[in-house]
Chains A and B, each alone.
Chain A
Amino acid sequence: MLGLLWLVPALPLAGFAILAIGGGRLPRRIVSAVAVGSVGLSTILAILVSARHLWLAPEGGVYSQTLWQWMRIGDFVPTVTFSLDALSLTMVLVITIVSLLIHIYSAAFMAPEEGYSRFFAYMNLFVGSMLILVLADNLLLLYLGWEGVGLCSYLLIGFWYKDPDNVRAAMKAFWVTRIGDTAFAIGIFLLFTSLGMLQIQPILREVAGYPVGSALCNASAALLLVGAIAKSAQLPLQTWLPDAMAGPTPVSALIHAATMVTASVYLIARMHMLFLRAPAVLSVVAIIGAATLLLASCSAIAQNDIKRILAYSTISQIGYMFLALGVGAWAAAIYHFLTHAFFKSALFLGAGVVIKTLGGEHDIFKMGGLRRHLPITFKAFMLAALTLAAVPPLTLTLNSKDLLLNQVWLSERGGDVLWLLGVVGAFLTAIYTFRIVFVVFFGPEQGKPGARPSLWMVIPFAVLSLVGGLVGVPELLNLLFGMKGFYSYLHSAMQGPVRDFGFAGGEWLFQAIYVAVSASGIALAYLLYRSVPERVRSLALTPVGSALHRLLFAGWGFDRLYHRAIVGPYVWLARLNRGDFVDLFYVAVAQVSRVTSFILSLTVTGNVRWYVAWIVIGAVIVLGLVVIL
């Protein structure tokens, strides 16, 4: 049974191959059947393999399956090997289940669009690449998956390529992540030249012998971190994600909420041994996480486009994951990823339903009162929003964010400042989340709602939302009755120190703090957007208010900064070099030959006796040279 592990990434890739080659000729039913079917089969296999893995518990907790030898260069023999342990098991399950539900959703969502088979081909390729990424045994294969998901992200953001804005957004995403990819590649090179191997487990064992803070660990960890920052859209490379919302909503849900952007969280968690040996880099991780989550939350409050709000929300939540990684709480970070994947993609799918119903309207202030028109959507959206805002009693769960913040407080690397920033972020999260809920679903009806959305769209969305809400139940049970939940499983697999609050009831105290913070955030949102929306508008019109609004709306001005500092000068240089000074050499060669040809053509006079004379002169000269030399 475990031997079928390779099918889990192979099936979506096979789906991609079928759709890439013949998709244009197949009818839509078959295309969606192939796409959804391949992911579905992969999901079933993933569940079965995972169950077997949990039941069988192979030695060391890792099951490896080598498929073939990739290449052979001297001593360097990388193989295509998939390894399954607790971390990758979690990732695989999340990826497959979320992908399956989003595929079913997109079958209905993308129905009126052209390029149907192209869309599903790219989606399948993405799922295959992501699975390769998380199952990879060595860094080279991981990098392959990394690049694959980057490629699919580019292809899918620019899916509606006829609009140049979409293409620009896709290119921007690709270029910014390229910075990270290059740093990541250099990090891999560094590790390879220093350690001579690329397999992850041996590398981590080797690195464990190095002193803390050694140059190799610091350098490679820093380079990997740059790669992670770019891929996950953290400060300072977060500018591409809000623009990436130009792609279709299922793409935003799958790639830019649930999976690709969390690939770097997986990377850091996987290589945590290396990062432990580079404490400076870990501190940077935590600081970046904290800064990002605050900045992004602030920006989210000022956005009008529903997808951009959710994009900034994603950036902010990944900031939380980075914060957890930075303080050494690996399991907490992965657990937050798990829940986030579900509720964030649910929110995106819900946004997609709303957008579709209103005929392509993205501005939330042009929506209103949809709770009467879309009851199921409203309930599911509400559930996901409550999960995002972390209000446990209402959702019967122990929220992952709360667990995370507990770890931040308790960890020796963390402390109160970072914890406080996290709490402030939670407050802001509650505000912007319920801003959406109140503006979109409550209030007077604006815009003309169209037909009811297809059941194929609503059901997956509802299922995702439900799972997101309920996935925390085992943790609650763990707290109350000591049952093993996901978090405990992850915790046992990734060795982090077990911490506890020193005093009894510590958990409940902090839980109360979190509830209070979230509730006050929701209340503030209600106040601002439900009771007295006019106050908000008048506040926004004051000079300070409008300046602040502009700053937050533009994402703290990063785009403008990069444009002025980097893009502008580079474009100026490129324009300067329009003649291309490197070409000068080749142009010169051509010119020389042209001139020589002209000079020589002067000798072609047509005068026969001249020719004879020149033959003789030439012979004399050559003979002279022969005689002299």
Chain B
Amino acid sequence: MTAIFYLSAVLAIAATVLAVTRVNAVHALLYFICSLLATGVMFFVLGAPFVAALVVIINAGAIMVLFVFVVMMLNLGPQSAKQERVWLQPRAWIVPTLLSVVLIVELIYSLMHYSSVVAAGRVVPPREVGIALFGPYLLAVELASMLLLAALLGAYHLGRGVLRFAGGQS
């Protein structure tokens, strides 16, 4: 089981790197979906089947699909890929990579002093997650629903004038 965890971890990292470096938007999105699926496997292996399902259903199945829809709506064709190639010069990578390396070093440094005993884990079934959500975290759940409502209204309002050009009614 541990081997599956590490394997999917490597897969996730590789897919993410590829997602970030593509010039074609749809390719990048698809690679990221791949990364999400690998993450889902990692969750399952860790004993969190509920969120494993959530990753696949919502993260990959709703959010990413939305991304794909928008990209397709914008109709980014070959000239956008050419544009990306122009924008994506090698020398643009230097400083961000440097910053990330510094960040990782800091992370490693803070993790080094932390050695935990690897005890036996346990599968946390959806039942317990549900009880937790509707018990101590009830208020947060309600707030999350309000957040979604706000997002809904915001997206609707922001998208109003735009849809006209795409051939639909506002």
CB within 8 Å of B: which A162-193 residues? none
A620 at the interface (CB under 8 A from B): yes
Contact residue among B95, B96, B103 (Cβ-Cβ distance under 8 Å from A623): B103
Set of chain B residues within 8 Å of A624, measured between Cβ atoms: 102, 106
- Bound CA span A616–B95, Å: 11
Set of chain A residues within 8 Å of B99, measured between Cβ atoms: 616-617, 620
- Bound CA span A617–B110, Å: 18
Set of chain B residues within 8 Å of A627, measured between Cβ atoms: 106, 109-110
Smallest beta-carbon distance B111→chain A, Å? 10
- Bound CA span A623–B96, Å: 16
- Bound CA span A613–B98, Å: 12
- The 8 A CB mask of B100-141 against A (1 = contact, 0 = none) is 001100100110000000000000000000000000000000
Question: Quick one: closest B residue to A617, CB to CB?
Answer: B99
Set of chain A residues within 8 Å of B109, measured between Cβ atoms: 627
> When the two chains form their complex, are residues A620 and B103 in contact, meaning their CB atoms are under 8 A apart?
yes
Smallest beta-carbon distance A112→chain B, Å? 81
- Bound CA span A617–B103, Å: 10
- Bound CA span A617–B106, Å: 13
- The 8 A CB mask of A224-259 against B (1 = contact, 0 = none) is 000000000000000000000000000000000000
> When the two chains form their complex, are residues B110 and A620 in contact, meaning their CB atoms are under 8 A apart?
no
- The 8 A CB mask of A352-395 against B (1 = contact, 0 = none) is 00000000000000000000000000000000000000000000
Smallest beta-carbon distance B163→chain A, Å? 25
- Bound CA span A616–B106, Å: 14
Interface residues on chain A, number (Cβ under 8 Å): 7
- The 8 A CB mask of B58-102 against A (1 = contact, 0 = none) is 000000000000000000000000000000000000011001001
CB within 8 Å of B: which A587-629 residues? 613, 616-617, 620, 623-624, 627
Set of chain A residues within 8 Å of B110, measured between Cβ atoms: 627
Question: Quick one: closest A residue to B110, CB to CB?
Answer: A627
Smallest beta-carbon distance B52→chain A, Å? 30
- Bound CA span A613–B106, Å: 18
Set of chain B residues within 8 Å of A617, measured between Cβ atoms: 99
Smallest beta-carbon distance B148→chain A, Å? 26
- Bound CA span A624–B101, Å: 12
Smallest beta-carbon distance A361→chain B, Å? 91
Smallest beta-carbon distance A275→chain B, Å? 82
Set of chain B residues within 8 Å of A616, measured between Cβ atoms: 96, 99
Set of chain A residues within 8 Å of B95, measured between Cβ atoms: 613
Question: Quick one: closest B residue to A619, CB to CB?
Answer: B103
Set of chain B residues within 8 Å of A623, measured between Cβ atoms: 103, 106
- Bound CA span A616–B103, Å: 10
- The 8 A CB mask of B17-51 against A (1 = contact, 0 = none) is 00000000000000000000000000000000000
- Bound CA span A624–B110, Å: 10
- Bound CA span A59–B85, Å: 115
- Bound CA span A617–B96, Å: 10
- Bound CA span A624–B96, Å: 16
- Bound CA span A624–B106, Å: 6
- Bound CA span A477–B44, Å: 129
Set of chain A residues within 8 Å of B102, measured between Cβ atoms: 620, 624
- The 8 A CB mask of A192-219 against B (1 = contact, 0 = none) is 0000000000000000000000000000
Set of chain A residues within 8 Å of B103, measured between Cβ atoms: 620, 623
Set of chain B residues within 8 Å of A613, measured between Cβ atoms: 95
Smallest beta-carbon distance B107→chain A, Å? 8
- Bound CA span A623–B104, Å: 11
- Bound CA span A616–B99, Å: 8
Set of chain B residues within 8 Å of A620, measured between Cβ atoms: 99, 102-103, 106
Smallest beta-carbon distance A159→chain B, Å? 74
- The 8 A CB mask of A402-440 against B (1 = contact, 0 = none) is 000000000000000000000000000000000000000
Smallest beta-carbon distance A513→chain B, Å? 108
- Bound CA span A564–B160, Å: 85
- Bound CA span A623–B106, Å: 7
Smallest beta-carbon distance A629→chain B, Å? 12
- Bound CA span A418–B36, Å: 115
- Bound CA span A617–B98, Å: 11
Smallest beta-carbon distance B144→chain A, Å? 25
- Bound CA span A620–B102, Å: 7
Question: Quick one: closest A residue to B113, CB to CB?
Answer: A627
Set of chain A residues within 8 Å of B96, measured between Cβ atoms: 616
- Bound CA span A623–B109, Å: 11
Smallest beta-carbon distance B1→chain A, Å? 32
Smallest beta-carbon distance B89→chain A, Å? 14
- Bound CA span A110–B165, Å: 92
Smallest beta-carbon distance B57→chain A, Å? 31
- Bound CA span A613–B97, Å: 12
Smallest beta-carbon distance B112→chain A, Å? 10
Smallest beta-carbon distance A214→chain B, Å? 75
Smallest beta-carbon distance A533→chain B, Å? 106
Q: Which of A613, A617, A623 has the most CB of B within 10 A?
A: A623
- Bound CA span A620–B103, Å: 6
Smallest beta-carbon distance B113→chain A, Å? 10
Question: Quick one: closest A residue to B102, CB to CB?
Answer: A620
- Bound CA span A617–B95, Å: 10
Question: Quick one: closest A residue to B103, CB to CB?
Answer: A620
Set of chain A residues within 8 Å of B106, measured between Cβ atoms: 620, 623-624, 627
Question: Quick one: closest B residue to A624, CB to CB?
Answer: B106
- Bound CA span A140–B103, Å: 73
Smallest beta-carbon distance B131→chain A, Å? 35
Smallest beta-carbon distance B85→chain A, Å? 19
- Bound CA span A122–B157, Å: 75
Smallest beta-carbon distance A249→chain B, Å? 85
- Bound CA span A474–B27, Å: 128
- Bound CA span A35–B147, Å: 78
Question: Quick one: closest B residue to A625, CB to CB?
Answer: B106
Interface residues, chain B, with chain A CB atoms under 8 Å away? 95-96, 99, 102-103, 106, 109-110
Interface residues, chain A, with chain B CB atoms under 8 Å away? 613, 616-617, 620, 623-624, 627
Mind listing 15 A-B residue pairs with CB under 8 Å?
A: A613-B95, A616-B96, A616-B99, A617-B99, A620-B99, A620-B102, A620-B103, A620-B106, A623-B103, A623-B106, A624-B102, A624-B106, A627-B106, A627-B109, A627-B110
List 3 tightest A-B contacts by C-beta distance, closest first. Answer: A627-B106, A627-B110, A623-B106
Known A616-B99, A620-B102; 7 more pairs at CB < 8 Å: A617-B99, A620-B106, A623-B103, A624-B102, A624-B106, A627-B106, A627-B109
